[in-house]
């Protein structure tokens, strides 16, 4: 086998990073007197690291997470006490593996979406958990289209591929009956399959009859979501109002 055919063979096996890196690895191995084991380990480790990088890149793109909302932009000292204490536990990802939910409440601008989006990004990068970010109104519209086309079970199955789904701004959903029915179906299915949802809402549980219209449906939705959940409240000054004030000064 000639040296010119080796890259072709490696690429045919899908070892594209190894095919790219092996000439430099040979040079380093000869210069530093590597043994065969170290040479092979160096190449395979590079291949695996590159595959992991590409996988995380694909997962981040598929997640539809808002750009720029990450852990680095959160001033953890200004988080609510419970959120700050819970953050290391949440970052470990075990609550998602168990199928527990994260429910965040607070007035608009208090940092709920930033917190959940940053957490979702870390769950992908640290643990390769599949995360999807959806404004709740968009989720409801997608569910309605799937129901109209008689494809709701298939669409729900597609959503269940995600370990965690972030439903942003639950309090802003319209209140038509068919919209509330598909949203309740989504929550019920996630509960039965022990799949996590992360919810941001400006409405506390006692006001969820405004979302689901029927108090019994609201109670059933809350019961399923709370059963296995972590609940965080975000109070204080609006982050957006504070940022606007800082810009003016």
| In the predicted structure, residue 136 carries a pLDDT above the cut 60 | yes
Say if residues 199 and 225 touch (Cβ distance below 8 Å). Answer: yes
Q: Tens digits of per-residue pLDDT, 173-184?
A: 666 788 888 999
| In the predicted structure, residue 228 carries a pLDDT above the cut 80 | yes
Q: Tens digits of per-residue pLDDT, 235-245?
A: 876 665 555 55
Q: Which domains does the chain have, with CATH numbers?
A: 6-60 (no CATH), 64-248 (3.40.50.300)
pLDDT-based confidence at residue 16 (cuts at 50, 70, 90): confident
Report the 3 state secondary structure along the chain. CCCCCHHHHHHHCCCHHHHHHHHHHHHHHHHHCCCHHHHHHHHHHHHHHHHHHHHHHHHHHHHCCCCCCCHHHCCHHHCCHHHHHHHHHHHCCHHHHHCCEEEEEECCCCCHHHHHHHHHHHHHHHHCCCEEEEEHHHHHHHHHHHHHCCCHHHHHHHHCCCCEEEEECHHHCCCCHHHHHHHHHHHHHHHHCCCEEEEEECCCHHHCHHHHCCHHHHHHHHHHHHHCEEEEEECCCCHHHHHHHHHHC
What is the reported pTM? Answer: 0.83
Distance CA 220, CA 200 (A): 18
Say if residues 71 and 121 touch (Cβ distance below 8 Å). Answer: yes
For all residues of the chain together, what is the average pLDDT? 87
What end-to-end distance do the CA atoms of the chain give, in Å?
71
Instruction: Return the pLDDT at 239.
Output: 60
DSSP strand pairing (101-106 vs 196-201): parallel
Nearest C-alpha neighbor of 186 from the set 200, 196, 176: 196
Say if residues 129 and 93 touch (Cβ distance below 8 Å). Answer: yes
């Amino acid at each position: 086998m000639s040296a010119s055919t080796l890259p072709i063979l490696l690429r045919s096996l899908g070892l594209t990073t190894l095919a790219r890196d092996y000439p430099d690895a040979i040079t380093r191995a000869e210069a530093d007197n590597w043994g065969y084991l170290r040479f092979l380990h160096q190449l395979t480790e590079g291949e695996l690291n590159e595959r992991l990088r590409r996988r995380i890149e694909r997962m981040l793109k598929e997640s539809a997470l808002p750009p720029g909302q990450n852990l680095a932009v959160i001033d953890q000292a200004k988080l609510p006490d419970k959120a700050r204490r819970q953050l290391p536990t949440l970052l470990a990802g075990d609550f998602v593996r168990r199928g527990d939910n994260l429910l965040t409440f607070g007035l608009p601008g208090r940092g709920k979406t930033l917190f959940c989006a940053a957490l979702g990004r870390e769950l992908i990068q640290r643990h390769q958990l599949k995360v999807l970010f959806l404004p709740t109104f968009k989720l409801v519209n997608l569910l309605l289209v799937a129901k109209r086309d008689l494809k709701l079970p298939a669409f729900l199955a597609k959503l269940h591929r995600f370990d965690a789904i972030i439903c942003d701004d639950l309090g802003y959903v319209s209140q038509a009956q068919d919209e509330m029915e598909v949203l309740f179906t989504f929550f019920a299915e996630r509960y039965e399959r022990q799949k996590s949802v992360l919810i941001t809402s400006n409405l506390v549980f006692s006001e969820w009859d405004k979302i689901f219209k029927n108090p019994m449906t609201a109670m059933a939705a809350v019961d399923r979501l709370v059963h296995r959940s972590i609940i965080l409240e975000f109070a204080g000054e609006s982050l957006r109002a504070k940022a606007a004030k800082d810009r003016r000064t």
